[in-house]
Each structure stands twice: as C-alpha cells, then as structure tokens.
Structure 1
Amino acid sequence: MPKLSSHHPKIIAGLSLFILLAMYLAYVILSRPVIGIDVKLTPQGRVTVTSVAAGSWSEQKIHPGDTVLQANGEDPLLLETIRKYNSIENVDSLVIEHTGPEGNSVTTSMEVEPGLSAHELIFRLLIPGISLLLLFGFSVYVYRKKRNDRAALQLILFFLSIGLSYFSSTPSGMADKVGRVCLGTSFAVVPVFFVHFMQVYLMRFKEPFLSRAVLKVMYACAALVSVLMFLDVALTRRIHPLETQTLLIFFVAANFLIVYKLISGFRKHRTGELHTLFKFALTAHTVAFSPFLLFNALPGLFGVTFISAEMTAIFVYAIPVVYFYLFVTHRLFDIDFLLNRLFYYTALSLVPALLILGVMGLLIHQNPYGWIVWVQIFLAIYLMITLFLFFKELMDYRLRPYFMKDLQDFQGSIDRFAKRISKVMKRLDLEQILERETLLVLPVRNVSFLEITRGDEQSQVSVTSDGRADPQIERDLEQAVNGLAVGEMTRMYRGICLVIGNYGPARHILWIDDKTNYTSFNYAEKNWLKTIAHYSSIIYENLYLVAGLIENLEGEIKNRNALAPPWVLRLIFTLSENERRRLASDLHDAALQDQLIWYRKLESLMLDYPMEPGLLVQLDQIKEGLLDVIHQIRQTCNELRPPLLMEMGIVEALKQLIQQEQIRSDYTVELQTEPDTIEMDDVQILAVYRIVQELLRNADKHAKASHIILSLESHSGRLYFYYKDNGRGLDLKELKDSFGHMGISGIQERVRSLDGEIKFVSAPDQGFEVRLVLPLAAGIEEGGYDDDSYITG
C-alpha cells in the first residue's frame, strides 16, 4: 500500500467532485433530448425560428421561418432560454405555426418525447463518455507512476479539463446551468494547464516556456471567463451578450500564444537536443487544435461553421495521447517519418478529392446545398482519402503476407540472401547463392555469370563466361561495357544483364534468361534485382580486399629478410592474442569445469560411503592429483590470458605477475614505477605485459639470474621501460643467426608493431639489459580484445 502524500485529501476531494460532475452531466444527457432551436424576436413580438441544429430533436419537425406560439403551454417569452440565449431548450411541448402546402397558416402541437436518438446516443453520450473515461484512465496511470512529479500533476489536470469540456458540451448546449459553467471553466483552463505543464516539464532542461507573470495573467483571464459564465447562469438576465465569444477569443488567443512559443523554441533549438521535443510538441498541438480553430472557432466569430465542435474535438485527443506516450515512455515518436508521409499523402489526396467533389456536383447539380455544405463534403472526402493512404502503408506491411501469399516474397528473399552471404568465403559460393535465389524468386530457367575485364588500353575488352549464356550475349556486352554500373540492367536480345560487382578493371555480370511466362520484368522484380546487385557488389569488393590482404601476409611471411610493416605485425599479434583468449576460454569452460565436477563427485563419494582405510588413502591421493590438475589448468588459463589485466592497469598487473613468478623461481625482482598509475591503451598494456612475462621466464630458464630490476616511467607522451638482470648474458651477434633465441626477436617484433624503439645491451657473464620506448600520445585501436572476466571463476 503506497504511503499517502500530503496532497492526498485534496486529490480525494477533487476526484469526488469530478465523478459527481460526470454523473450529473450524464444524467442531463440521458434525461432529455437536445431541442436545438435558435430563434429571434420580431418587431411584432413574435418568436421566429432562425435555425435548427443537425441531429437534434427538432430536425425534420421544425423549419426556419416557423413561429413559436407556445412553450410548455405558456407564452414562449417566459422561457428563460429564449430570453437569455435566443434558443429553445428544456421544454416538454411546443405549439408551432408554419405555412402549409397551399400557403395557409397551420398550427401544430408537438410533445417532446423522452429518450435519445441513435445520433444523439453516439455523438453526445458514447463518444464523449468513452473519451472522458480514457483520459481519466490516463490520469490514474500517470499519477500511479509519477505522483511526486509536478509536471505529472499538471498533465493530469490538462487531461481531465479536456475530457470534462468535451463531455459537458452537450449539457451546455441544452442550456443546463451546471453544464454551461462546467464547459466555460474547463474549456478556458485547457490551454492554461497545457502552458503550466510545459513550463514545469521544460524546467528539467533549464528551458523556461513562459514567464510566471504571463502564466498568472492566463490564470486570471481563465478565472474571469469562468466568473462571467457563472454570472450568466446565475442572473435572470444576460449581463454580457458576448460571453461565449469572449471564451472563444481567449481560447484562440491562448493557443496562438502556445503555437508562437513552440515555434520560437523550435527555432531556438534547431541544432540542439531539444529540437525534436519542440517539433514533436508543435506538431501535436497543430494537429489537435487546427481543425477546431480553422473550421469552427474562427468562422464562428463571423457566424459560419464548417465542422461541428463535436467532430473537431476528436482531433484534440492527439495531445493527451502524444503527451501520455512521451511522459510514460520518455521517448518521442519518429516525427519526421510521420510528417513526411502526412505531407505526401495530403498532396496525393488533393486532386482525387477535387475530382470526386466535381463529379458529385455534376450528378446533383440541381441541389439546394449551400457553399458551406460543399466545403464540408470536400473536407470529409479529403480527410478520408488522406487517412486511407496514411494507413495503407501499415495495412500493406501487416496484411499483404496473409492475403497475397501467391506473390513473390521479395523482402523475405532479401533477408534470406543477406543471411546466406554473411558466410561467403569465396566467389564461387556467392555465385551459387545468387543463382539459387534468382531461380527461386523469378520464373526463369537459366542464369549465367560473366566477367568483363578492361585492359590497359580502353579498347581492350575481354568477356569471359561460364558457358551457359549465348555467345551473342558476350559480343553485345563488349559494346555496352562503357555504360554499365552496379545495379544497372541492360536489355539484351534475350534476357537481361545485371551488373553485380565492380572492382578495379573487372565487372561481374549476371545474365538472366527471359521469363517463362514471356512477360517483361515488373518494377517490383527490378527493384529486387537492384537490391540483390548492391548486396553482391559489397561482397565482391570484400572478397577482393581479403584476397589482397592474404597475398600481402603470405608475402611477408615468406620474405623474412624484409621488415614487415607495423600494421602487419599488429594484425599478427592481435590474431595470436585472440587465439590465446579462445584457448583459455575453452580450457576454463570445458576441461576445468569437468575436473571440478569430478573432484566434487569424488569428495562426495568419500564422505557419503564407508570405505576401507587402504582404499580411502588411494582415493585421497587421486583427489590431491585432481586438485593439482585443476591448479595447473587455472595457471595455464591465467598465463594464456591474464584475468582483469585491462581493469588493473599495467602497474598492478606487473606486480601480480612478479609475485606469481617469484613463487616458482629463485630470483628477486625490484619494480620501480613513475608515476604509480600509467595511462595506456589495451594493446600497449598487453604488449608490455607479454614482454615482461617473456623476460622473466628467460631470466629463470636461460640467464639463471638472482636479481632483476624493472623500471617503468611515463612522461612527455612516452613510456620508458628498463630491464636489467645479473644473469649469464649472451653475445648479441647470436640474435642475427637465430630468429627465436630466448624470444628476443619476438620482443623486437612486438615493439616494432607499436612503433616503439628497443635496445639490448649484453655480453657473456655480464647480465642482460633492455631499454624500451613506446609512444603513448596516440592510442592504437586495432579492434582490442574481448572481455576476460570468465577466467576469474
């Protein structure tokens, strides 16, 4: 059970008020229908109908121009809604006078039937109610996850104000007093709560959205609008005939301010990390409020409405959904991806929408529709086509594999081809995969591989083939060689030629026979072929590069008299260390673990079962032997790949190495380091470690030294290494005659691979000295080595 916060009583009170309001508004919607009649008072004192709301109870029953004689059996001027709002709501009966078919005056009494029509049930109760529940669910989720975040609380208020304003729109239109106050208040605070949320949310990025003074002014304006709405319903007469326009003006102005600030933030951070956030917010706000502002609020100031508020309110839910996703997941939509497709599909939809509207106009040219209705029809068609195109891409991706299984699976083929070519080691393997995939996907019987080679002179062109293509194809290719590039297709007298590789003077061609159904290659097949060709060209190029690298390495290995380039030496040592690492891993994970398992089984057997003393002694000897083998395997693993070498650093690693070697040897080692910690990259640490390891072993096995001095110094971007022992020494001339004597040549090669310098000083019976300098300023990163934590187990 979560601990109650200090705001818990306020939250309970606010939640209770919200639920009571929602229940009351639902009761108002269910208790009586929307009458939907707007009237005016004539100079003669008669109440005349001016308009009838679509989908209301009075639609098809009452028409503009009719006269209201009675409302609820009384003078219509006594009805409060007529006196204050020039509309008729909350009545049980009406007496209407209208002109009959023959021009005579006809009086009709009407009883208002209780209950909701299907239109009212969907658009006035179900959609607003589901929206309110959805936003309430969002609010509960955000509160549970982020209850201590101020931005979360503002986001919750923003969600609930949107849901409440939408749900109270119908009771407000029915002139219900609570509904009108609820709509006026919640609608006014929607932009204010949004601004406050952005203000708090952006503070974590040290980015103010608006000043506190402006925010206070917005809260004051929203409070003023709310007071006007309250006074309007509380007093018997209307104190301000434009309170609804005041609400709209404030809402429009506040949203223009929000859009302006979002645009300013977007421009300010066009190259910063908040660029996507502001673009994200600006897009969501534009999508949410543009339909209402452009087609309802702004035209409503001039007495024209293109789209009803109920329909435009649906777009407002783009903001809660978007910010709920942002706040909970801390991620943004790929807004550029969505916008690019939105602009593309709106451009595509414009012409079809105009054509459909034109055809409708021709078919029903004798219609009574006004220009506003035609604009509404165009907007509906335009929106539906855009949404269809927008979601078609998703439907293609999701549904095409299920409903179009007879078509070639080009994407699956590309995925399969990419997996197979990852294992290609030679050109023949690639061509076999290409042939198999082409024959599997395309309805063709034959393919062939050709190679065009250009000589030193431009006119010297030779074409070689595997023999499956017509000789005429080879002759035609000699003439078309100048215009061929990777992915390009050339139509031949039979089939097509596709360039699948281009490296140096050689071009690799795939010839594909005509299709068995005698049709030409369609655009999907051509796109598939181009994709396959580009994949293949990369593999061809890599095969050439690998072949050249192997040739260079073989040449270096054969020519030992010449000095190999440092990069070759680094590569050789890297491969060697990788093999050591793999061998250490195999020993640790296989042999060592098996030995441990058998040791534990033997130990358990000796403890669980009674045995004769002689057998027990023999088993104890076997157990000790297993322990020796386990120790030797662990020691071998550590020598092959020292554990935690990179984590310890070179100084600590050498101290541990010296400690291990002194256990097995008779010499003493004096280690001097300056400073105590020397910054080196992984390759350099491993190289110095191996050099010291080799020198210590030589001191024990060959030099028979009793005292060794090791010194490491780092300054001026260089590492200075010094080694001296008091062993037997050697004649340095022997190094020229023996490549592997005491590992000295290997040490020289390793130092040269790191662009270092090394010098040996020695003579018989005078010890052995090594002076080494390595550059530290530019770390060598030739791929590094993998993690070695497995060796410590």
Structure 2
Amino acid sequence: MYRYINVYKYLSLVFIILSFIYVIYLSYSFAFNIFVGADVKINEQGKLEVTNVLDYTDEYYSGVKKGDIILEVNGEKGSDIQLKSGRLVNVESLIVERDNKSFHLQNVSLISEENLFMYLIPVISYSICLFCIFFIYRINKVRKSTSAYILILFLLFVSVAYVSACGARRGEEISTYLLVLTLVSCPVLYIHFIYKYFIELGTKLFEKKILIIMYMLPLINLLLEDVLSNRLKSSAFLSNLNLISFFVLVLTVSILIHKGIRKFKQKEQKSILKVLAYTNIFSFSPFIVFFAVPYVFLEKYVSPFSLAAFTLVIPFSLVYQFMTNRLYNIDFVVGRLKYYGFLAITPTIIVVTIFNYIQQPKDIFYLVKLTIAIYVLMFAVFYFKEIIDFRFKLKRFTEKFNYQDGIFKFTQLIKQASSVDQVLNHFKNTILEVLNIDNACVYDNSKGEITLLSKNNFKDLTYKNHEQYVKNFSGDIGKIKEFKQGFIIKIGERGDRSFLVLCFSSYNTFKLTRDEIAWLQTLAFYTNVSLENVMKIEELMSHLEEIKQQESNPVWLKKLMYTIEEKQRSDLARDLHDSVLQDLISLKRQCELFLGDFKKDDNPCREEVQDKLVQMNEQMSDVISMTRETCHELRPQLLYDLGLVKALSKLVAQQQERVPFHIRLNTGRFTASLDLDSQLNLYRIIQEFLSNAVKHSQATDVLIMLISIQNKIVLHYEDDGVGFDQEKNTEHSMSMGLSGIKERVRALDGRLRIETSEGKGFKADIEIEL
C-alpha cells in the first residue's frame, strides 16, 4: 500500500512542476503573442480573407469580422503570411480592408476586461488550487492517504484544463493537446478519488475495472486529436468528439454516485454521496447545458470560459471535506436553494418581459442568455439578503413592530417567572408593547367555568360584552379568532384548564397581518411551555407539602435513601479493607516475625514477654477477623458477584458458627431475576431478622424461606422464641429492629404481615410484586 502512495506522491509532484512551467509559458504567450482566433483563406483574388472569427478570442474582442481582407500582419503583407491550419497565429497587429476602408486593429491588453475570463480568472483559479494542494500535502503527512494524492491530481487537471482552454482557443498546439487530456480526464479522476476515498472508509463503491475502462477514453481522444488534427479541414469534428466524451464520462460518474446512494443505507455514507451528487450536478450542468450541447447541435453557445468557473466547485468542496473531515448539511443547503430559486422566477419573468417589450431583440439566443443572467442575479440577491439579515441582525421594521426582538425580550422575562400569574402578565405586556392594541385581559377556562385573571382599565368597553367569545372559543394552542375590534388567542392548556387572552383595539376595523399572526402563534407556544413548567413545579411543591404533613416518607424517597445508604456502606467497607485491615495484617506479620526472633534469644523475662506477644497476636487476629466480617456486612461482595442466593447461604453459614440456635434456609424455589437494589434490600431484611433473633428471641430453631411464585416473591421468617405482644409493647417492637424492616418492605412496594404473641414465637411474611 505504501508503495502505491509513494507512486501517487511522486506523480503529483511531477505534474505540479510541469503545470507550473506550462502556466509560465502561457503567460509569456499572452504577454507577447496575443492575437489569434480567426480562420482565413486565400480568395480568388489571391488575398487573405477572414472566413470565421471565433467568439471570445483576442480577434473577436479586437474587432476582426468575417469577410475582412487582411492587408498587413505585424507590418508584413498579408499575401506573404504562412497559414497554419487555416488560422492566423501569433499576431500582434492587423491592417484590414472592410467596405473599401482600411482599419488598423491593435491587440488587446493583457490586464483588460476582455482577458478577464480568457486569462486572469483561470490563472487565479490555478493559484488557488496550488494553495489548496499545499494544505493537502501538510495534512496528508499524518494521514498518509492515497486518495489525497488523487485529489491533488484532480485539482491540477481541473485548473490546467481551465487554463489550457484559453491557450487552445488562441491556436496553441500544446494547449490543445493539454485541453483534450485534462478535460476528458477530470471526470475520471473525480470518480477515482471517490473510489479510493470510500475504500479507505472500508467500503467498495464499484468494481475497479470500470475505472480502467474510463481511463482509456482520454487516451483515445488524445490519440485521435494527434492523428486527425492535420488531416481534417475543420476542427469542429474533434471538438464535438471531445465534448461528447466529456458528457459521457460525466453521465457515468453521476450514474455511479446515484447507484451508491441507493446501495448504501448507512447515514454517513449516504450523506457523503449526496454531497458529491449535488456538487457534481451544480458544477457540470452549466458547462454541458449552455456550452457543450449548444456547441454540438446549435452552434450558438455561452462563453465556455465563464461557465468553466462552475467546475471549480467540485475541487473546492472536496478540499473542504478532506481538510475538515466534515460534511455540511446538504439537505438544508438544497432546500434553501430551491426556495431562493422559486422566489427568483417571478421577478425574472417580469424584468425579461419588460426588456423584450422595450428593446424587442431579434436574437433569441441573446434573450435566453439575458434571462439566465437576470435569474442568477435575482437568486443571488435573495440568498445574500438573508445572509446579511442574519449576520448583521438588521431590523426591517420600527422598534414598535420588531417581532424578533419581542420574542427575545419575552424569553428573557419568563426565565425569571416563578408563578402562572407572572407568565401571563409577561405575555400580556409583550403584546401590548409590540402590537397595535390598547387593552388585553386574560381568562382561565377551567371545566367550562370562566375566570377573569387580569385586566386593563377600559373606557367604553366592558368585559361582559365580549365574554361570549371566550365561552364559545375552542381550538389548539396558538389558535386565533378575530372579531371587529380585536382578537382572542389560546396561549396555554393543562388538563381541563386552558388560558385565553382577549385583546381590544380602538380601531373598529382591526385586522392582524400575516407576520403578526405568525409572531403571536410563536409567542403562544413559548407561553404554553412556560405555563406547563410553572404549573408542574407548583403541583410538585404542593405534593411535597402534603408528603411533609404525612408521617411516613414516599416510596421513591425511601428507595433513594436506601440507595444512598448502600453506597455509603460500600464506600466505608472499601476504605476499611484498603486501609485499616491492611495495616492490621501488616502489624500482625511484624509481630509474628518479632516473636519468632524473640524465641531464639536467651532472656530471663523471655517467657513473660513471649506470653504477652502471643496474646497480642491473638487479639490482632480477632480484630482482623472482625474487620473482615464488618466489611462483608457493609458490602456483601458475594451478592455483587454471584447473586442473592449465594450471599444468603454464606450469611447463614457465618451466623450459624456464632449463634446458639439452629438456622434453616430454603431458597430452592427462588428463580426470580431482580435488580441489584431489590436484592440488597432483601439481603438486609434477612440480616435484620437474624440480628433480632440473636438479640431478643431466645429461640432454638429459625426457619427462613425465600420463594418466587409467578409474578410474586414471598419471604417467610419463623422462630420459636419468646415473641412479644404487638398491642401492648410497641416500643419493644421498635427495639427489635422491625421499624427498619418495615421501611425496607415499603421501599420494595411490598406487604409485611407479622404474627406473634408472648411465649409463642415470631412469624413474618413479606410479599413483593414483580
């Protein structure tokens, strides 16, 4: 792969150097030998006669016309001039005879309006391409991408094709060959870059043999140009052949891209191909529609030098995509272009119709060109108008009717609103400031009951005369109903409650404009969102107040508290294990080493000190064991690793070693899949039952059963201990830890049933719905 990269790299460097030399040569030719573009022949009188003048060439701009008799060329007699393929080349000045009058025609200046599209713009475009190539080289030092060097070749071929077209038009033979090679190769290099780019993305767009076939066409055209150019009297056949080849290749590229769009469903790949398809259409369509097709079939066409500038859109868009590795939103761009294009149709028709009526041009092709120019101009006006409006935030109306500023101020006000009344007052004040209305009042329609929330002072109007509009109003948010002196709008709704604003004007023929209606609807949607948020907050605060007055906390709060508690337990267990426990183990190890060394020494107090050390070592072992158990109780690691059943089995086994009663655990019928929080709560409940049994029950036998039946989990605990009287000894039940158990059961949204009495043991059943 790296071998191919180096080949493309050196090939691109060679083409850059050759293209630079060619542009310097062409500039020299333009500066010192710039008078070509006429076909001549020796007439019956033996004089040089102009038979055709090519459009947009130096002779065209200098005033040479068909039928002129050439008397002198560069100071020499016309009869002594050697013709080359029926054309005059390298001419600086002419003296021609026209209507029995002599005219001295001088060459146009290099820096002139005539040479703008013939030389200056192509050379500037070439310079810009070189600038882009420089940045591609810099970026590709890191990427090392083959497609980058193909993109460089494509940029060079496009820019050289643009420049060589000018030289070919002047009769430069080397420019003609370069134009044939570069122009026909541009679509091939374009699709070659796309092919390599997608290969690097891990996707194959089409078969490689298609590329090989496409590369053969430019070589065939170049060969035909060399063989037939000197044998044919006219170059029209070869020009048509080259343009047809170019059109076929462009069509092939479009078909391949279109198939790729249909083939790949991935969003990124489809977006890339859509960008390429649209740029392909935008770049090649003007050249094909207004030059290639008319040149072949009509022999009337728009200057190819101005149309060729459109083809630069492709390389620059590819450079943007390659350098930034981003895609612009092509759907948005195309949507806006369609919108501006539709708007530009009407003014174009009006201007062209007026021009045609006043001037009455005889040349239809001239009228077509004028129509296109005016359409493009109108399109550009609409496009840049929106950009300027957005960039500079121009205010098209007075401050009174500046709707966008009104929305901005309103959003700033409602950010600080903390009640429904504040939001409604902000809405009312905003429309009073912006719209041409005098008064407004807000109504609350709750289940058909109308309540007036706010009002302004009226002079001649009363609310009761207009309440009928409120009672009979129905519709969605932003719905507006106009009447003689004002309008009513719905600005908010929640449940069976809706908010309406009734507005009045002092004019008897009040009418809202389209802009005002759109602005009011937007403002109503903003207000509705704010009202819903404020009302939800008020409902939440009211609910929290109700909870505060109740004795117990809600289930969600209990779950949150237990989750926080488990996290704190886990953090504490981790800290104990990583710090205190490790320090204790290290200290015990040091003590054992010291005790081993101490036994070897002869010391009168050896036995007494040795006993003390052994006692300290045993105490440290007990502390280490207790710390480990505490860590396990705080964070049952086995539960996190293997699940609830394994953790309960270990818990019972550990407890059985320390307690004086027998514990039976039955989890054989438990198959439910629970989340970690639910497993932790069940584990803590059983842990608390066992803790109470150790402290208070004086039992000899304890039974724990955990089973799952359909969509329900049942936990049964039973012991044969002393029990207690639930009615008389509430404080005792609290001391047994039942309060914590009840809270955890409630957090699991379960039910707890307790059966106990003095001397008859203790039973508890917990049911949890899945």
**TM-score > 0.5 by shorter chain:** yes
Cα RMSD of the aligned pairs, angstroms, is: 5.2
Contact 2:559 2:747 (C-alpha < 8 Å) held by counterparts: no
Paired residue type of 1:68: I
Partner of 1:258 in structure 2? 253
Q: Work out whether 1:478 is the aligned partner of 2:468.
A: yes
Relative distance call for 1:306 and 1:237 in structure 2 (3 A) is closer
Residue 380 (structure 1) shift: 0.3
Paired amino acid for 1:287: F
Query: 1:447 maps to which residue?
Result: 440
Which residue of the partner structure matches residue 53 of structure 1? 55
Structure 2 match to 1:283: 278
Residues 125 and 159 in structure 2, CA contact (< 8 A), matched pair in contact too: yes
The answer to whether structure 1 residue 394 and structure 2 residue 396 are counterparts is no
Asked if residue 125 in structure 1 is aligned to residue 126 in structure 2, the reply is no
- Deviation of 1:383 after TM superposition, in Å, equals 0.8
Matched to 1:528, the amino acid is W
Q: Are the counterparts in 2 of residues 123 and 310 from structure 1 also a CA contact under 8 Å? A: yes
Change (3 A) 1:649 1:204: farther
Contact 2:470-2:500 at 8 Å conserved across structures: no
CA distance in 2, matches of 1:122, 1:719: 86
Distance in 2 between residues matched to 1:443 and 1:241, nearest whole Å = 70
SS in 2 for 1:53: coil
Structure 1 unaligned segments of length 5 or more: list them: 100-104, 456-460, 562-567, 585-637, 776-793
SS where residue 58 of structure 2 aligns?
coil
**1:122–1:463 CA distance, 2 compared to 1 (3 A):** same
State the secondary structure of the residue aligned to 2:518: helix
One-letter amino acid of the counterpart of residue 98, structure 1: R
Match of 2:515 among 517, 524, 528: 524
1:447 to 1:218, Cα distance in 2 relative to 1, 3 A = same
Shift of 1:60: 5.2
- How far apart, in 2, do the equivalents of 1:770 and 1:230 lie? 101
Question: Which residue of the partner structure matches residue 743 of structure 1?
Answer: 740
What CA deviation, in whole Å up to 9, does each residue of 1:466-512 have, x standing for no partner?
35365634442325533432213333554433221234444312233
The alpha-carbon deviation at position 342 of structure 1 amounts to 1.8
How far residue 288 of structure 1 moved from its aligned partner, in angstroms, is 0.5
Q: Are the equivalent residues in 1 in contact too, given 2:15–2:153 (CA < 8 A)?
A: no
1:683-728 CA deviation, whole Å, 9 max, x = no partner?
x3234335545665676588549999999999x9999897989997
Match of 2:452 among 444, 464, 478: 464
Higher Cα radius of gyration: 2
Q: Is the 8 A contact 1:729 1:768 kept in 2?
A: no
Q: Is the counterpart of residue 429 in structure 1 residue 431 in structure 2?
A: no
Structure 1 residue aligned with 2:526, among 530, 535, 544?
A: 535
Cα displacement (A) at 1:752: 1.9
Kindly tell me: are residues 403 and 435 of structure 1, through their superposed partners in 2, closer, same or farther at Cα, counting changes over 3 Å? closer
8 Å contact from structure 2 (residues 706, 713) kept in 1: yes
Per the alignment, residue 94 of structure 2 pairs with 94
| Distance change (3 Å), C-alpha of 1:78 and 1:692 | farther
Contact 1:35 1:58 in 2 (8 A): no
Correspondence for 1:335 among 324, 330, 333: 330
Correspondences of 1:193-232 after superposition (within 5 Å): 193-204=189-200, 208-230=204-226
Partner in structure 1 of residue 136 of structure 2: 142
Distance 2:319 2:729 in 1: 75
Cα deviations by residue, 1:323-370 (Å, 9 ceiling, x for unpaired): 2233333332222222222222222222211221121122223x5x52
Shift of 1:296: 0.3
Distance 1:536 1:174 in 2: 69
Superposed, 1:485-524 pairs within 5 Å as 485=475, 486-492=477-483, 494-514=485-505, 521-524=512-515
Moved more, 268-277 or 24-33: 268-277
Matched with 1:377 is 370
> After alignment, is 138-147 or 507-516 more displaced?
507-516
Going from structure 1 to structure 2, the CA distance change for 1:199 and 1:679 (only over 3 Å counts) comes to farther
Cα gap change, 1:494 to 1:728, in 2 (>3 Å): farther
Contact 1:712 1:722 in 2 (8 A): yes
Aligned match for 1:157, one of 148, 153, 157: 153
Cα distance change on mapping 1:278 and 1:79 into 2, 3 Å = farther
SS at match of 1:97: strand
The code of the aligned residue for 1:29 comes to F
* 2:392 partner letter: L
**Structure 1 stretch 33-42 or stretch 177-186: which is displaced more?**
33-42
Letter in 2 for 1:468: N
Equivalent position amino acid for 1:149 in 2:
S
8 A contact 1:34–1:174 mirrored in 2: yes
- Which amino acid letter does the alignment assign opposite residue 131 of structure 2? G
Task: Indicate how the Cα distance of structure 1 residues 346 and 667 shifts in structure 2: closer, same or farther if over 3 A, else same.
Answer: farther
% identical equivalent positions: 20
SS in structure 2 opposite 1:65?
Answer: coil
3-state SS of the aligned residue for 2:95? strand
Instruction: Give the TM-score taking structure 1 as reference length.
Output: 0.72
Contact 1:39 1:87 in 2 (8 A): yes
Write out per-residue CA displacement over residues 360-419 of structure 1, whole angstroms, 9 at most, x where no aligned residue: 122223x5x522111111110011101211222222211234786846553344345345
Is contact 1:442–1:515 with CA below 8 Å preserved after alignment?
no
Q: Classify 1:771/1:145 alpha carbon distance in 2 versus 1 (closer, same or farther; 3 Å).
A: farther
Tell whether 2:346 aligns with 1:346. Answer: no
Distance 1:78 1:711 in 2: 123
- How many angstroms does 1:253 deviate by? 0.7
1:286 alignment partner AA = I
AA aligned opposite 2:501:
L
Cα distance in 2 for residues equivalent to 1:374 and 1:528: 43
Residue 545 of structure 1: how far off its partner (Å): 5.6
What amino acid maps onto 1:187 in structure 2? Answer: L
Equivalent-residue separation in structure 1 for 2:107 and 2:423 (angstroms): 81
Residue number in structure 1 paired with 2:65:
63
Distance 1:48 1:679, change over 3 A: farther
Higher mean displacement: 419-428 or 158-167: 419-428
1:291-690 aligned at under 5 Å gives the runs 291-365=286-360, 370-401=363-394, 406=399, 408-418=401-411, 420-421=413-414, 424-442=417-435, 446-455=439-448, 462-468=450-456, 472-479=462-469, 481-485=471-475, 486-492=477-483, 494-514=485-505, 521-542=512-533, 571-573=556-558, 576=561, 684-690=675-681
3-state SS of paired residue (1:301): helix
Deviations 1:198-237 (A, max 9, x none): 222233566544432221111111112233445578x698
SS where residue 472 of structure 2 aligns?
helix
Q: Measure the CA separation in 2 of the matches of 1:649 and 1:498.
A: 61
Q: Which segment is superposed worse, 252-261 or 729-738? A: 729-738
Question: Shift of the alpha carbon at 1:573?
Answer: 4.1
Q: Could you tell me which amino acid in structure 2 is paired with residue 199 of structure 1?
A: Y
Aligned length: 686
Shift of 1:134: 2.0
* Aligned counterpart in structure 2 of residue 116 of structure 1, from 110, 116, 123: 110
1:443-466 deviation line (CA, Å, top 9, x unaligned): 6564322223454xxxxx645343
C-alpha change, 1:511 and 1:644, in structure 2 (3 Å) is farther
In structure 1, what is the Cα distance between the partners aligned to 2:372 and 2:707?
Answer: 79
